[in-house]
Structure 1
């Protein structure tokens, strides 16, 4: 049933080899953990007979992320560092270019199991859903990330009248026609495109299916690719750049999803001849 957390495992799915999936993976300085993650994704899709193409969007990494991804995926490297939001949107654009029936997005830090990524992809085909979200369970985030997530979740509820369990989850599956519409609704430089997607999905009354997935620590010990920290150490005070990012993201939500919606809902003035 759309909107219900799904307990099924990937081994239960009966899929056809011709059912093609593209998995798009934005990455910044993930050379240490990326090869293992990509190999696991490939293995998980192969185990259920699904053809999957992997595309890594390297956000001008400085640690050899592009070279680490090449044996397993097509790698598209940005000449400049754009940040996660614009890189995620560029990744979606690359996925749409492939013509795949299902486009899955997952971050390159490897905080999901390959089998759970497959479950999200398969759930889109084996239901009447328009969209599938992987809802993270077992997260070990610092307190300030939990607070920020709760604040954004509440804002989404106020904005669209629907509770979204994991409003900014980076693990999602889309049909191309739905995805193209969502991508067109946000600017290419959006900081938090997945939050905008979640709000638009609720406002448009899309059928969203929520699949419970396990959240694991990011792969690799290098933390320079994230503003949140590795999850392995206790962080007491929010990093300064995270505070700045949160302020900019909230301002963006106001501009696009609140003020923008108000402008769109105003009646158009009559044109006098």
Structure 2
């Protein structure tokens, strides 16, 4: 089997044991339905529950010895995808907020196009107001910085060709808090060919909300959690350091094609 015929879906996870197995089974079935070979790779961020055990029935599981947080774990998952030799690498979070069929559609959209990357643009989100406001502010900042509007700057559902992904990963430190925002800025700044696929955003699977800082399942929350406020401050400082002061570039500009 040639590398380009194979997809690696990389999945950072923290305390997702309750629903992870069903989510992985759904992803595998969705790729089987479109006739694509897929490898699932779960990177467990030192969960305190049975996330690794839940994932091992359907995926290759790599367990971190220490809890590093979502950003570093996502980058570690991308690294595992690059080492897999797959021709398409798809990232999705382990909280199961996407349908398996949409994940397969994003992978197929990259494979059947001339895009460098495809983003799954979330529709029907039920996030708290403060998360929506933060997303809108970051989107506006990217527009000002790069002159290109990105519909869902921090979407965790993305598909990449390995050569493009390797350059993006090399452009951010391994401990980056918000790697997907950095990726989106680099993609816009360097005029990469980005395709957008509308996908459904569904509630986090499972009843336990311990895997997130965002107030999952609390769309009517009045105030943002203090942990989120601190995180947002650190993330903004990181964006300033890497993407504004550093003004990093990953490649020579290329013609933009929007799907």
Identify the TM-score tier after normalising by the shorter chain: over 0.9
The aligned length equals: 249
1:234 deviation in Å? 2.6
Asked whether 1:80 is paired with 2:81, we answer no
**Gapped regions of structure 2 (runs ≥ 5):** 250-259
> Which residue number corresponds to residue 267 of structure 1?
none
Unaligned runs of 5+ in 1: 1-15, 264-273
> How far apart are the structure 2 equivalents of 1:132 and 1:262?
21
State which of 197, 212, 216 in structure 2 corresponds to 1:230.
216
Q: Which residue of 1 aligns with 2:252?
A: none
Counterpart residue number, 1:3? none
What is the CA–CA distance in structure 1 between the aligned matches of 2:12 and 2:159, rounded to whole Å?
15
Report runs of 4+ in structure 1 exceeding 6 Å deviation: none
Distance across 1 between alignment mates of 2:30 and 2:3? 13
Question: Within 2, Cα distance between the matches of 1:179 and 1:150?
Answer: 25
State the partner residue of 2:151: 165
Q: CA deviation at 1:230?
A: 2.4
Q: 2:187 aligns with which of 169, 183, 201?
A: 201
Match of 1:250 among 236, 241, 256: 236
Answering whether residue 160 of structure 2 is matched by residue 174 of structure 1, we say yes
Aligned to 1:19: 5
How far did residue 18 of structure 1 move?
A: 7.5
Distance 1:89 1:121 in 2: 19
- Distance between the aligned counterparts of 1:112 and 1:233, measured in 2? 18
Aligned-pair Cα RMSD in Å: 1.7
Following superposition, the deviation at residue 172 of structure 1 comes to: 0.1
Query: Please, what TM-score do these two structures have when normalized by structure 1?
Result: 0.89
- Alignment-derived partner of residue 129 in structure 1: 115
Contact 1:17–1:51 (8 Å) recurs in 2: no
Give the Å deviation of 1:19: 1.2
For the residues of structure 2 that align with 1:56 and 1:261, how far apart are their CA atoms? 32
1:34 to 3, 16, 20: 20
Aligned counterpart, 1:219 = 205
CA distance in structure 2 between the partners assigned to 1:225 and 1:156 by the alignment: 28
Describe the shift of the 1:154–1:241 C-alpha distance in structure 2 as closer, same or farther (beyond 3 A). Answer: same
